[in-house]
Structure 1
Amino acid sequence: MQGDFRVNEWLVQPQINAIEKDGKQRHLEPKVMQVLVQLSMHANEVVTKEHLLKTVWRDLFVGDDVIVRCISEIRYALGDKSKSPRIIQTIPKAGYRLIANVALSSQESQNAPVVLPPVPEPPVPIPMEPDRSADSQILEGELDLTPPLLQDGFPAVTSSDLAAAYSASQSEIPLLRRFRSMLLAVSASLLLVVVYLLVRSPRPIHASPISLFWGSFVNEDNPVLICIADQPQNLPGRLRDAVDPERSADIQTGPLSVTMEDLNASMMAVKLLQSYKRNYTLKAEGVTNLNDLRQGQTVFVGAFDNAWTLRISKQLRFHFWNSPDMSQLAIVDASAPANLHWSIDRDKIGKSDSYTDYALVGRFTSRDTGQPALIVGGLTTGGTLAAGEFISEGNNLHRLQENAPAGSGKSVEAVLSTHVIDGQPGPVRIEAVYYW
């Protein structure tokens, strides 16, 4: 058995990180495939997150969120749903259980036991360059198709191997036979190199909802700037004497603070970028200038506490609005600016522990900076928390993209809503989406 097996009607091919059904093939990221293999090796058993971290990521230090992302992408690829699972069942506070039928592929021996070998650690995937053509509608994803006989980018037959084989055979075979063996070995090496180059050539594939939405944010090399709102405060501070630490002086300082909802949304973006091994910088809105924003992609976190969010979002169809006295906050549609359906009254919020909040998520190329921009902000605390959850969860992003009209571009913005109880947001709902 070469490792191929079936999960229900899907043929799983770990060596090429592919799954196939009805003649249609999809590719999975190497780590995602390894998670699927581990679950299949322990079908109908509970596999803990600790086991997956130990066997799939080994010595790498990652959080549980990477496992959640992998499970989400497996479910999306196999057409499974978390609320009514047919393939992967979530066991709260324990792990995951593969409940589908697992069997050997038809090409394996019928008498072989249904035991799947562990998948060897594949090379680290290199993000492919995104398609920047104006007509392209699908971003390229990540695909590692290294042939099983190739390791570290070199053919399995090396020059040292050929030299050793040649030396050992000199005393046993005639000169002509030795020359013929060397020629065949070199020809085999050249053939492997040609196959390697052909297989490694870039090709468009079906991207996951997360990699499709985040696009160049996870495929480019330059660091992603996360512009987060800061809150100036005037608080008393204390300085101690370097010679006599017991002696101190009280001074008035102006430290900066960050609200918890903005910090939470920022950490959602940070965790996702880390899972793609992307570099990032975190910078306060008050010290961010236009030149900073022109250097590359920026994630703008926060709304009415982030001046850059308000400036950049003015060009959008859906954008933020407030009454002159700031008592009413809203997201409005430029095609119907008088409609304040997505609004909240700040006075009523202060008197109630239950209300509906709204948020705006937009991914586009800013005409002010000429660079990709992502806006994540809510009218109040609950909206920003919900927006941060939305941009980092595959099922949410799949719902956002599944209704995109044919011919639409890579820019999208969505108005979200969530019911907030005691300051905590509930499930996220999509109120309106605009593609261009």
Structure 2
Amino acid sequence: MNKYLQQLSLWIGALGLCAGSVLAQGTLRNEVIKPLAAAQEAIKNNQNDQALGLLRDALAVPQLTANEKNMISRTQAVAALRAQKWKLATEALESLVTSADVPQTDKRPLLESLINASLQLKDDARVVKWARQYLQDGGANPAVHLALVQALAASGQHAEVVGVMQAKIRMDASTAKKTPEPELRTLALSYRQLKDDAGYMNTLKLLLSNYPSKPYWAEVLGRMSQQAGLNTRLELDLYRLLEQTDNMEDAAEYVEMASLALKAGLPSEAVRVITKGFAAGVLGQGAEAAAHAKLRTDAQKKVQEDDALFAQLEKSAKDGASWAAVGDVHFSRQNWSAANAAYAKAIELGGLRREHEVRLHAAISLVQADQKGAARQQLALVSGDATAVELAALWAILAR
């Protein structure tokens, strides 16, 4: 807003400076110059309502020339914007941007001011009309593109938002630019209004990739957990991401993650998660306190049994499957280097029934060991299972 006023004020200053020469050339008549000059002086003294009154006198002069009308409209636009009389500002600015006598180079900043005034009026149709004109004329102010898509969304033209934003995303990608977050959020809203779940999810992932945040992680993971065709074997990995992004919040999540770890034969991970839940004051409270305590006791007992068997498992490991199992135990104990070494042996030996899981877990262990370059290489090799590939893409965001 201030930028637009400043630009128009520069024009007012220029008009004041050249008034004498304009009069000498006979471009403006004395009966126009007098109220116009007085209005400009009033604007300088922040007397905008008085300026608007003087400009009404100037407009009342009979048989105004195109040049006189434009000079008055420019001054009127400044005074109206400063006085926050948005309707009058839009009328003055529209007369300028549609005038054949206003140079094209002047019209771009005038259009920016017109779009701003239309926004203040909450006139979505006007915003769309003039924003389209501005962009068509080669205007590059990113705020105008945002105003266009938000006005389209506000007026219920969600399919239009999708079309405009798909083109914008392609253009941004071609120039290695990040599409602005507010534009992507507007696109997500429009997909939601159109009940296009795939489009909404893809936009969420784009937001997450470019502007990672705890709420985006929570929504992406929450929606992913409800997707049809989710590989339930990888539910534990969903919870691992939930924990990694600081989105484990309620007792049910801690209990479910611990239960999934126990089901996978990884009691050390279950104990760690349960201990974390108790330390956070989430577990051990209310009506479920006794059940939480029992879960912890059961998990601790399983750890003791696991410890007795693990040394023998690691010593006797010979094929890919047994080394993958060794890697999983080290992973559950957060021994990241040992886990990755075991997974590397498993991949080298081959013969894995679920190679996508091993590669995913190997990559996660590399992320946790802060070997992010190697992790990205391993994540790129995850294939053969849609859920694993999706999880790999999400871990790749963290690996950046």
TM-score range for the pair, normalised by the shorter chain length = under 0.3
**Greater strand share, structure number:** 1
Q: TM-score, normalised by structure 2?
A: 0.23
Q: TM-score, normalised by structure 1?
A: 0.21
* Greater RCO (Cα-Cα under 8 Å, separation 6 or more): 1
**Greater helix share, structure number:** 2
